[in-house]
Structure 1
């Protein structure tokens, strides 16, 4: 943490009730150590959990938000703004592109009052894009320009204001909370435990699974708790204990549920489309039959009169 930020920082203090509220809402599933880390970082950087400037994701760890990083930069007293542009596949720097297929990356310029030149930080789109695996368009598919700009800005803010170790959720498929290069572990056994946790941790996928469950439940009018319990029953463990393979299996199961619901919708559409013309045809046929019967009876009647 830079000295200027430390000088202007006012330590956050919370009552016991608020601490319990933070743990139940923004740090659900965290261990005592992880929750203590969240509180320590919130105090050190003057971040507000209630504004979601800092939070915890199961399987990933303590993260800050994009707004949280900007908040830290503002309170330093040296913030002079930033400019973020999309890099096209021809190397041009533009604010937006008309075709998302033309995104090569993003570049962020950070300006400080005590610098003559801005810090420049660029990132590759292909290194960070995270396509949805559920059949629903995810954030990277719906607003890729916004997402890659956030990643560029997060990296630039870390470098400009000495915020190593503070990452945003959008980066977490690339970075992990348990970064071996940044850990200061003395005991070899403790290091082995950390590395094992790193390899088995599902990173941001668990949060994405939660998001997919919410989307599925909303679209098909299901209860989120029921869907979550169904997945837990299929996998054989509670969701907060899912590893990467468990999450992949859960996503496949969710895909199957989506296909079943889509099939039901198609069946309904088929019934609606088919019923109307069949009924209309039947009505026309009945009228035609009635007309023919009336003509036949009329002819038969005329025949009798002729006899």
Structure 2
């Protein structure tokens, strides 16, 4: 990264680059290490880190600074404009920066990203109530935080081939919810649509005694599906 070689090991990730009280799995460590490798992220500069709480799946978090560095290095990047969206006199108004009038009501954030190969900018507007988690930072600096989230989402849309797989702490939950919804929708749409015939000769169940089954060896499927076993 930036001309410097960064070495990561599983122990280094577990001992120094994980936040939260959960224990990360080997699979999550490998995914994190590969993300850093392929996206050229330096976790020692807080460009990326793992967050794990209890038994929940770990989240791979990327900093806003990493997004900005990647955009700055893209040959087609031509700058951005960003700010907040407020309600003023019953109208929505885009305000540049992160400052508002006393009577303005904060509604969300906006960002425009300019690319050399596009005639119009990529424009993103996001709602405050979808991103604010009620944490201390959001309570103390809601204008700054919603503007930051708008920038990250706009950069991701502007450069999907470079930033599409990276998520900051503010939008990691939205990404997980989107993935969960997609999985459930896929199940509801396609589950049980095709009959599956199990041939007894292939399984050879009737030819094996219970003791033979107990003595057989099994191979554990990776942790993403711990309830499934494959006969070997």
Which position in structure 2 is the counterpart of 1:25?
16
Post-superposition Cα deviations, 1:180-216, rounded to whole Å, max 9, x if no partner, equal 4389x9xx9x9xx67xxxxxxxxxxxxxxxxxxxxxx
Contact 2:6 2:42 (8 Å CA) reproduced: no
Instruction: Please say which structure displays the higher CA radius of gyration.
Output: 1
Tell me how far apart the structure 1 counterparts of residues 170 and 81 of structure 2 sit (CA, whole Å).
19
Contact 1:53 1:64 (8 Å CA) reproduced: yes
Match of 2:153 among 147, 155, 159: 155
Contact 2:71 2:77 (8 Å CA) reproduced: yes
Distance change >3 Å, CA 182–CA 153, structure 1 → 2: farther
Contact 1:87 1:106 (8 Å CA) reproduced: yes
Matched, 1:131 2:125: no
Question: What is the TM-score of this pair, normalised by structure 2?
Answer: 0.65
More strand by share: 2
Distance change >3 Å, CA 31–CA 139, structure 1 → 2: same
Q: Secondary structure at 2:65's aligned position in 1?
A: helix
Contact 2:113 2:154 (8 Å CA) reproduced: yes
Which position in structure 1 is the counterpart of 2:66?
68
Tell me how far apart the structure 2 counterparts of residues 140 and 86 of structure 1 sit (CA, whole Å).
14
Deviation at 1:177, TM superposition (A): 7.6
Q: Which sections of structure 2, spanning at least 5 residues, go unmatched?
A: 192-220, 226-232
Which position in structure 1 is the counterpart of 2:44?
50
Which position in structure 1 is the counterpart of 2:30?
36
Deviation at 1:100, TM superposition (A): 8.1
Contact 1:55 1:64 (8 Å CA) reproduced: yes
Question: What is the TM-score of this pair, normalised by structure 1?
Answer: 0.50
Alignment of 1:117-196 (within 5 A): 117-132=120-135, 138-162=136-160, 163-176=163-176, 179-180=179-180, 181=182
More helix by share: 1
Which position in structure 1 is the counterpart of 2:208?
none
Tell me how far apart the structure 2 counterparts of residues 77 and 97 of structure 1 sit (CA, whole Å).
34
Which position in structure 1 is the counterpart of 2:210?
none
Q: Secondary structure at 1:41's aligned position in 2?
A: helix
Post-superposition Cα deviations, 1:153-193, rounded to whole Å, max 9, x if no partner, equal 1111111110333211112343328824389x9xx9x9xx6
Deviation at 1:13, TM superposition (A): 5.1
Tell me how far apart the structure 2 counterparts of residues 12 and 32 of structure 1 sit (CA, whole Å).
26
Tell me how far apart the structure 2 counterparts of residues 53 and 177 of structure 1 sit (CA, whole Å).
23
Contact 1:119 1:156 (8 Å CA) reproduced: yes
Distance change >3 Å, CA 113–CA 10, structure 1 → 2: same
Alignment of 1:190-229 (within 5 A): none
Tell me how far apart the structure 1 counterparts of residues 72 and 39 of structure 2 sit (CA, whole Å).
11
Matched, 1:112 2:115: yes
Deviation at 1:50, TM superposition (A): 0.8
Deviation at 1:113, TM superposition (A): 2.2
Contact 2:59 2:172 (8 Å CA) reproduced: no
Tell me how far apart the structure 1 counterparts of residues 34 and 183 of structure 2 sit (CA, whole Å).
18
